[in-house]
Structure 1
């Protein structure tokens, strides 16, 4: 739980301080890549960790993920340029991708279906502290000292959480007979490369021919390997586990396509500080935790599907409210309210989808099902952030104001 808290803090912190980073390092056209690189890096980490957990238990993949995450923090804190920061985010992503895959698989393997909703609520509560203090604290650090300390300052806490978590994980690992195989690993690499080409195409707004070629090439390279990493029928929304996995991708795309750019819109359009911009992310994260608390108590009476529908509706409402703030004359408080509503929607929908995935997974295949779910998460976030980044790059190239 402590490790998830630190990963959550880092995620919220980067979204808050990125406008400050861009002012120092420049390269606005790479703004979206700071997010997308992180989640693209998560793809191989998720797939490999999920299958290693099925094969060897959770200790090895967790330790490997934590080590890579720490290396990425050092690289990020010392980054001399925006491309170097993007590379650091790739390394961070590989490491952080392993952590939730191990955690979800451990929950599926160690707890009964009756207890899992409570465990997911507890897991979501790990985001409460980062939501309350993460954006404001990281914004204050960036305003008063340097954004670099947001990365470097996490290292001692990551080391402590690793020692504590590894002790508890040793009692959970039960290797199975499933083989991770080089095919799954190579498929993850192909999906990562294909998604990277798609995102590059989305960012190549100045040349439509190049953009279309990159997107088409990325789809051709990545689509078949992706089908081998998710349950058959996922891209066609086949009822059962495939449709559940696809709904997770749509959920994360919808939310994070806007979430990555809320601080930028507040600071650039309304001229506020990073600390003030962090309030919107604080509201979102806090209400996400409240939504998770509600779903844990209502999932048996309302059912997970009702909660998921309500969550999608609230996210749509939140995005609508936040879009109004793009008008400089709109009240700034609207972004806090709107993004808080969207966070509540994520809290209601996110954990029930996780619950459905584990319920529908075959016994002994919880790790693979969890990695498929995390894969959907990552692709949704990366493509969402990439789409938003493409719009920003296009606006910058055309000198929109």
Structure 2
């Protein structure tokens, strides 16, 4: 493969964004306790998520209008600056401010990288590149917890934030070399009015997702209000027809949201169920998740080499996702050996490894020049919001059913089965046609 420096730089940045996402989740209990900010614990996550939604929408349009270089380096600067602010925080409020800047910057980086791939790499290499991106997200989930735990115990939580900027600068320098002479300058889209309204809809979407997150612990009015807000705001950020899975790009975005929502909502409950109900140690329960991460990476590798076709990846992957969730749900019964959890999550991870990068590839294939950024941002916004909604709803079901693990697995299984219906609809209505782009900014 050519573009070795560019590929190395891209993968490095993706890995660092992924690692920081996992690291913060692990370190935050210690951070909140030391800074006396347990009452603001949730805001450290929901605030970053809100900033990321706005950054994703703004970054997508910016990359289409001006090229991906400006949003990419702005995002890198924001990511580094937010990490430094958080790592040096003397109060929880200062740390949250850093998380806002970090979330915004990381979102700019993520969407700009998609546009770089579209502008630089030939289409036949896109599966391999997105396979590497998927692995770059999965590997930190396997090694991240141990590294973060060691850093927090030996050096303190601040170095979870302060060490990553150094690595980010190194990755950025490699990327600078890789981008030299590449066709990434200049935009491919015409200016259009309404970007401010689009950003406002993104902010409202983030508010709706945050309300659902806070309402998931039993505050039903917040859950309902958040869902209503999302039903109004989210469609403004997605391709027309996404919520009904219209053929082409809308179905691609819908399937990304459904599969990610089903997987992550089920994954949240897996260790709790294995430890609290089936008596596993935290270490052994963690191995179940590690197995899924490994097969996610392996399946992404297969997708990158196009071992199967696109339809097989999506239909087969979604079927594996549904089967794995069903199998994990069976583990809730005491008559079923608890060791059955390992193959169950291995199957689930394999399914996601086929689905996830395939949808990234299809998003670029179904985008006209000048639409890659806005459509990539729609894909990422849909994934984030669907995941938040799924986790919030299943958490509420879990509480309402009295620690009803079965309710969580049943709900996520339904999402996966709906995804199985959506999966074949990625092909546009007519051969060679492009799926409708994101709704007009005006």
Q: Does 1:314 align with 2:314?
A: no
Aligned to 1:251: 259
What's the CA shift for 1:3?
0.7
Instruction: Write the distance in 1 (CA, Å) between the matches of 2:186 and 2:80.
Output: 27
Residue number in structure 2 paired with 1:233: 241
Alignment-derived partner of residue 369 in structure 2: 363
2:224: which partner in 1? 212
| Residue 130 (str. 1) matches residue 140 (str. 2) | yes
Deviation at 1:124, TM superposition (A): 2.8
Alpha-carbon distance in structure 1 between the residues aligned to 2:34 and 2:270:
19
Cα distance change of structure 1 residues 257 and 87 upon mapping to structure 2, 3 Å threshold:
farther
Aligned CA distance change for structure 1 residues 134 and 371 (closer, same or farther; 3 Å):
same
Q: Residues 66 and 187 of structure 2 are in contact (CA less than 8 Å); yes or no, is this contact kept in structure 1?
A: yes
Match of 1:39 in 2: 49
Q: What TM-score results when the alignment is normalised by the length of structure 2?
A: 0.74
Structure whose CA Rg is larger: 2
Q: Mark the CA change 1:10 to 1:242 in structure 2 (over 3 Å): closer, same or farther.
A: same
> How far apart are the structure 1 equivalents of 2:335 and 2:147?
28
C-alpha distance in 1 between matches for 2:38 and 2:103: 21
Q: Distance in 2 between matches of 1:89 and 1:330?
A: 43
Counterpart residue number, 2:100: 90
For the structure 1 residues 99 and 207, does the alpha-carbon distance in structure 2 shift closer, same or farther, using more than 3 Å as the test? closer
| Larger mean Cα displacement after TM superposition, 162-171 or 176-185 | 176-185
2:70 matched to which residue of 1? Answer: 60
Instruction: Please tell me whether the aligned partners of residues 33 and 389 of structure 1 are also in contact (alpha carbons under 8 angstroms).
Output: no
**What is the match of residue 163 of structure 2?**
153
Specify which structure has the bigger relative contact order, considering alpha-carbon pairs within 8 angstroms and separated by 6 or more residues: 1
1:287 alignment partner in structure 2 = 295
Residue 384 of structure 1: which of 357, 379, 390 is its match?
390
Structure 1 residue 377: deviation in Å?
A: 2.1
Question: Residue 40 of structure 1 contacts residue 378 of structure 1 at CA under 8 Å; is this kept in 2?
Answer: no
Higher mean C-alpha displacement, 323-332 vs 207-216 = 323-332
> 1:272 & 1:198 partners in 2: Cα distance?
33
CA–CA distance in 1 between the matches of 2:41 and 2:348?
23
**TM score, norm. by length of structure 1:** 0.81
Between the aligned partners of 2:36 and 2:340, the Cα distance in structure 1 is 29
Give the direction of change, closer, same or farther, for the CA distance of 1:317–1:145 in structure 2 (3 Å limit). Answer: farther
Aligned counterparts of 1:241 and 1:183: Cα–Cα separation in 2:
22
Contact 1:245/1:376, CA 8 A, preserved across alignment: yes
| CA 1:113–1:132: 2 relative to 1, 3 Å | same
* Mapping of residues 98-109 of structure 1, within 5 Å: 98-109=108-119
Tell me how far apart the structure 1 counterparts of residues 84 and 270 of structure 2 sit (CA, whole Å).
26
Gap change, CA 1:249 and 1:207, over 3 Å in 2: closer
Partner SS for 1:4: helix
Residue matched to 2:189: 178
Structure 2 CA distance for partners of 1:175 and 1:14, relative to 1, 3 Å? same
Instruction: Indicate yes or no: 2:127 matched with 1:117.
Output: yes
Unaligned runs of 5+ in 2: 1-10, 406-442
Q: Judge conservation of contact 1:245–1:372 (CA < 8 Å) in 2.
A: yes
Q: 1:117 to 1:261 in 2, by over 3 A?
A: same
3-state DSSP class of the match of 1:114? helix
> CA contact under 8 A between 2:212 and 2:227: conserved in structure 1?
yes
- Report if aligned partners of 1:51, 1:179 keep a CA contact under 8 Å in 2: no
Please give the alpha-carbon distance, in whole angstroms, between the structure 1 residues aligned to 2:287 and 2:119.
37
Q: 1:189 to 1:63 in 2, by over 3 A?
A: same
* Offset at residue 280 of structure 1 (A): 4.5
Please give the root-mean-square deviation of Cα atoms over the aligned residues, in Å.
3.8
Quick one: distance in 1 between partners of 2:40 and 2:330? 25
The answer on whether the counterparts of 2:128 and 2:303 sit within 8 Å (CA) in structure 1 is: no
Q: How many equivalent residue pairs? A: 391
Aligned-partner Cα distance in 2 for 1:276–1:88: 35
| Offset at residue 104 of structure 1 (A) | 1.3
Residues 310-357 of structure 1: CA distance to partner in whole angstroms, max 9, x if unpaired? Answer: 222232333345556778999776655544432222111111111222
Q: Does 1:7 pair with 2:13? A: no
Alignment CA distance shift 1:8-1:334 (3 Å): farther
Equivalents in 2 of 1:104, 1:319: separation in Å? 30
